[in-house]
Amino acid sequence: MRRKLLPLAAAAVLACVSTATALAAGSTHVTQFSYTTPPHLTCGILGSAVVHGTNVFRDTGDGTSFMSGTWFGVFTAANTGKSTTLSFAGPVTQASPPVIDQLAGTVTITTTDGGLFERLSITGGPTLSRDAGSVTLVDVYGYTGDPANPVDFNDFISETVSGLDGPHPDLLSGFSIFCDVIVPYLEGP
């Protein structure tokens, strides 16, 4: 589910970031969102998701940003009607401006996520997997050639995890725990 819902979460965040970058330096932008996905496969199980949350984005005016909010996605399996909930909450800070490497054609962005990085649970029931605490992510994207708007978010190149504090079993497993815990539940009796 994370593999399908994470791009949707990223799209919601990027939409907020794109909107917020058009705002004046130092401004704050709050977005509430809610949508239903079309039927799709998550870990090989057909279903759909209902997603909602709130995003608060602050442009600090010096090339850095602060974002916080909540994101909830409830995936319901088409065959069994069983559902799981994936949620995220907490701050994401970008402590330095994007680093442009014109020669390599890349832009590097370093962010630190805090709070609840990911929680996967049976909807209305127990937690199946939880990643919490801070984690620093170093993401490399393609360079647009425009220093004023350098990041091509459609050209994701790599991600490195560093500064890991707290339990992050799903992140450290490459998100394989996600499918390992939801498939037996969603397909079970």
For the chain, the distance separating the N- and C-terminal CA atoms, rounded to the nearest angstrom, is 20
Which tens digits make up the pLDDT trace of 8-43?
444 444 444 444 444 456 789 999 999 999 999 999
3 DSSP assignment: H
Which tens digits make up the pLDDT trace of 72-108?
999 999 999 999 999 999 999 998 899 999 999 999 9
What pTM was computed for the model?
0.77
Report the C-alpha gap between 27 and 127 in whole angstroms: 36
